[in-house]
Structure 1
Amino acid sequence: MPNPISIELFPAGNGDAILLDFGEALILIDTGYTSTFRDYVKPRLKALHDEGRRLTKFVVTHIDADHISGAIAFIKENGAADNPSVIAIDEVWFNSYRHLNFEDKADGDFEGETPMIDIIGGKESAETEDDIQLVSYEQGTSLGSLLLKHKYNWNTTFDSLAVKADEPLKLKLSNDLYLTLLGPTQSSLNKMANTWYRYLKRIFAGKINQDAFFDDAFEKMMEEMRQAELDAAILDEEMLVSTFGDWVENYTKSWEKEDNSPTNGSSIIFLLEYGGKKMLFLGDAIPSQVEEQLKKLTPEDQLPIQIDALKVSHHGAWKNNSPELIKMIQAKYYLFSSNGRRHRHPNFETIASILNNHPVESHKTLVFNYKQGERLLDVDDDLSKKKYNYDTIWPDVDEWGNGIDGYVKLIIE
């Protein structure tokens, strides 16, 4: 009889930090910010280490600060792979500079040993989402540098090349656990690579090689791009009020355009199957890319794909969750990892689209790891739950703030 599946969502601010326990395997997906790792993920991993457990996979889906900052702190503190201070890790999945191809790269461009820190500067990694400088780039403190320094098995399933899947790729992780890799594709990695290449050409009149300093610069550049997007965003969402009527109808809108971020498009995304249960983890993926892979994975007459848990892409951002994608997936549990502060995630349009495109006769549960004050109040409305046949799960925090806002543990049996 398979073990129950435990899914833990840790307090990661506007980011992700997810631990999956299958009994015979442990998978950690992202680690949020430095404070997320230090205050929540680290104590949990040390307790598992004391029980004789080890991580089967540590997956850093992509390079944004809300996914990678805690990973830098984790590997830095864990130390040498053969003598870890927190927990042993069988393999790390993470795509960095050295895993990318450059379509327009001329032979001989950019080789040398100039420390990238001398060119780009840098500070400590992001403690929380409130940090102005979101990612640290001191020499030797990028995730890629640390993985090399401490000799981790890094992308070894892929012969130390990029974690990618132009076609769905099914891998066996343990006796009863299978992972089907759905992305990123080579084309999405190329998009990120070319953006990175143009950036380096602007700032560095030298030659690129594959030393750790270029990993540092790569991580810094990608975060600068994300910060620019954030600064340009206009957050004008209105607070939902019950007297305005059916909130689902109010937020049922036509979908306009999808996210075009190179970093989000590079997300490592996958389907897990264990004991007849299916779980889909989308990172911050771009919807058209997921749609294309799901169509390859599942015959059209068998859509929507029936799964037990979906980690909704990009914390429920509307640009990352097209109605077409939502129609292709029918889940029992929809997982939203965000405190809603920085980007106002999840967007109400996404939640409304899930409820509108999910058969009303089929029950579903929306799982939020933050209370978000009054922002999501109407989502928890009993009349709405009855009309659209759904329930909600929230962190176990009482009206006085006792408990951990940002932490939810879901058991799937």
Structure 2
Amino acid sequence: MKRDETEFALLPAYHGDCILIKTFDNDNNEFVILVDGGTSQTFRYFLKNELEQIQKIDLLVLTHIDSDHIAGLISFFKSNLIGSILIDEIWMNHPEIVDVDNDELISKKQGNTLFDLIRTKKPYTKLKEISTDDSLLERKGLKFTILSPTPDIKKELLRQWKCSELPKEENFKVNISSQKDSYSESLESLNKIPFAPESSWKSDIYNSSSISFLLESKDISLLLLADSRPEVIEKSLRDKGFSEEEPLNVDYLKISHHGSLNNTSQNLLSIITTKHYLISTNGGNADHKHPSRETIARIVYSSPRSNGKDIIIFFNHSIAQLKERIGNFIHENDLHSGHWSIRHQNWFKKIIKF
């Protein structure tokens, strides 16, 4: 299939991530990228319908092993659909990808692993581990600048995995929601609070190990941060020469970890210029609510403006649904200052750079 325009979807992934990108290579042949699979419900109700229209996935990226990113992929590989779709290459970082129990918990005891499913269903698919050692990867004219994880983070993930030290998700309780009373604070005042994550990258190894990258095609640039740590991404970008004076300019920035409290810092946002911010969330689950109001504040007041243009924060679930789950995290008065707006949207196309 020939294509001359990129389009991508931030699919409704409940409290997870699932991004389907349809771009094109040097010869204008369609090049399909699937980044994560969301929850098992994501596959059942949204991803399956999209994949039924696709014959080939050129690149599948499992960013990390959290259940809200891996479960939909496990459902995909267990479905009859897997037999009709060619997968050329898969990126993932772990010696063993485990199955998911009830779509929420990662269980190393279950026998049906994603790794086994890949080897059984797609034995000729190329498998590649990813770290910032790869720096820049090219696939048929598409450029992938790898920003996370670092070799040290990948090494620590594999060490903890092999030593059975990875914490179970139900025992890993880091606050990612808004701090108490933040809903009554103005966004401008919230942005003045110094960023202070509640954990180190070693104790947040699931998110720290996220494969995050800048994708550049002929017509669009996407910065996809998965659930990565802001200090890791900031260092990667600064090491590449980006700064407040010379920020990275992208068409779209997918905010890390569903807009949670600990994964987007003012310092990181200050070295990235974009008009379009993407947040993948339905408001979170029973344990954690997102996006945090603090993250919204940082986007609105710490992000540099290019040519004075307003910014838009896009959500892949309706604003009404978000407010129903987490309350009035954005007030009407918030939109009267800061030159920004919010919108519910799932499909995106090429935009004119500013």
Do these two structures clear the TM 0.5 threshold for a shared fold by scoring above it?
yes
Match of 2:311 among 340, 348, 364: 364
Alignment of 1:110-149 (within 5 A): 125-129=100-104, 133=105, 137-139=109-111, 141-149=112-120
* Separation in structure 1 between the aligned mates of residue 186 and residue 292 of structure 2, nearest angstrom: 16
Match of residue 193 from structure 2: 253
Whether 1:92 and 2:90 are equivalent positions in the alignment is yes
**Equivalent in 244, 268, 276 of residue 325 of structure 1:** 268
Cα 1:379–1:236 change in 2 (3 A) is closer
- Please, which runs of 5 or more residues in structure 2 have no aligned partner? 25-29
2:347 paired with 1:393: no
2:33 is equivalent to residue 70 of structure 1: no
1:129-208 equivalences in 2 (<5 Å)? 129=104, 133=105, 137-139=109-111, 141-154=112-125, 156=126, 160=127, 162-166=129-133, 169-175=135-141, 177-199=142-164
> Which amino acid is the alignment partner of residue 148 of structure 2?
G
Q: Among 286, 290, 300, which residue is 1:355 paired with? A: 300
CA distance in 2, matches of 1:10, 1:299: 30
Question: Which residue of structure 1 lines up, in the alignment, with residue 27 of structure 2?
Answer: none
Match of 2:205 in 1: 262
Report 1:100-115 matches (<5 A).
none
Q: How many residues align?
A: 334
Query: CA offset at residue 319 of structure 1?
Result: 1.2
Alpha carbons of structure 1 residues 42 and 183: separation in structure 2 relative to 1, 3 Å: same
User: How has the CA–CA distance of structure 1 residues 287 and 235 changed in structure 2, closer, same or farther, with 3 Å as cutoff?
Assistant: closer
Superimposed CA distance per residue, residues 202-237 of structure 1 (whole angstroms, 9 cap, x where no aligned partner) = xxxxxxxxxxxxxxxxxxx74x5332113x659675
Q: Distance in 2 between matches of 1:285 and 1:234?
A: 13
Q: Which amino acid aligns with 1:146?
A: L
Shift of 1:26: 1.0
CA deviation after TM superposition for structure 1 residue 55, in Å: 1.0
Q: Which position in structure 2 is the counterpart of 1:403? A: none
**Structure (1/2) with the larger strand percentage:** 2
Q: Is the 8 A contact 1:252 1:349 kept in 2?
A: no
Q: CA deviation at 1:71?
A: 1.0
User: Which residues of structure 1 form unaligned runs of 5+?
Assistant: 100-121, 200-220, 396-407
Distance 1:327 1:359, change over 3 A: closer
User: Bigger radius of gyration, 1 or 2?
Assistant: 1
| Equivalent position of 1:104 in the other structure | none
Is the counterpart of residue 289 in structure 1 residue 232 in structure 2? yes
TM-score of the aligned structures, taking structure 2 as reference length: 0.83
Q: Report the Cα distance in structure 2 between the residues aligned to 1:192 and 1:33, rounded to whole angstroms.
A: 22
* TM-score (normalised: structure 1): 0.72
Distance, in Å, in 1 between the alignment partners of 2:243 and 2:195 is: 22
Q: Partners in 1 of 2:176 and 2:140 — Cα distance?
A: 46
Deviations along 1:48-91, one digit per CA (max 9) or x if unpaired, are: 33xxxx11101000001111111111122257xxxx43522111
Q: Which amino acid aligns with 1:164?
A: S
